[in-house]
Amino acid sequence: MTLAARHSFIELSARERARAILDAGTFRELLGPFERLKSPWLGLQGVVAQSDDGVVIARGRIAGGSAVVAAIEGAYQGGSVGEVSGAKIAGALELALRDCQSGRTVRPVLLLETGGVRLQEANLGLAAIAEVHAAIVALRRHVPVVGVVAGLVGCFGGMSLAAALCSHLIVTRQARLGMNGPEVIEQEAGVGELDASDRGLVWSLLGGAQRYATGLADTLLEDDAEAIAAEVRRAFGSTAPPPRSEQAQCFLERLAAIDPAQPPEPQALRALWGRAEAR
Partner 1 sequence: MNAPQDDVQPGLRWLEALTASAGLRESGPGTVRLADALLGGEAARFIAVVPDAANRFPRARHGEVGLEEGWTLALLVRATVAADRGQRPRPIVAIVDVSSQAYGRCEELLGIHLACAAAVDAYASARLAGHPIVALLVGKAMSGAFLAHGYQANRILALDAPQVLVHAMSKAAAARVTRRPVAELEELGARIPPLAYDIASFARLGLLHRLISGVSAAAPSPEDIERVRGELAAAIRDARGGGRDLAPRLTSAAARATRAASIAVRQRLAEQWDAP
Is the Cβ of residue 146 or residue 225 nearer to partner 1 in the bound state? 146
Omega within 30 of 0 (cis) for the link into 152: yes
Task: Please list the residues that pair with 110 across neighbouring strands.
Answer: 70, 147
Between the two ends of the chain, the Cα-to-Cα distance in Å is 26
Q: Does 127 bind partner 1 (CB under 8 A)?
A: yes
Is the Cβ of residue 83 or residue 231 nearer to partner 1 in the bound state? 83
Which of helix, strand or coil describes residue 41? Answer: coil
Residues 228-247 that bind partner 1 (CB under 8 A): 243-247
| Contact with partner 1 (CB under 8 A) among 37, 110, 146, 148 | 37
Residues 82-111 that bind partner 1 (CB under 8 A): 83-84, 86-88, 91-92, 94-95
Q: Does 73 bind partner 1 (CB under 8 A)?
A: no
Residue span binding partner 1 (CB under 8 A) among the ranges 4-12, 172-180, 219-227, 228-236: 172-180
Cα separations in angstroms, 131 against 87, 125, 254: 8, 10, 30
| Contact with partner 1 (CB under 8 A) among 24, 51, 189, 230 | 189
Which of helix, strand or coil describes residue 117? Answer: strand
* Under 8 Å between Cβ of 155 and 176: yes
Q: Does 1 bind partner 1 (CB under 8 A)?
A: no
Q: Does 57 bind partner 1 (CB under 8 A)?
A: yes
Q: Does 5 bind partner 1 (CB under 8 A)?
A: no
Q: What is the dihedral of CA 277, 266, 11, 221, to 10 degrees?
A: 0
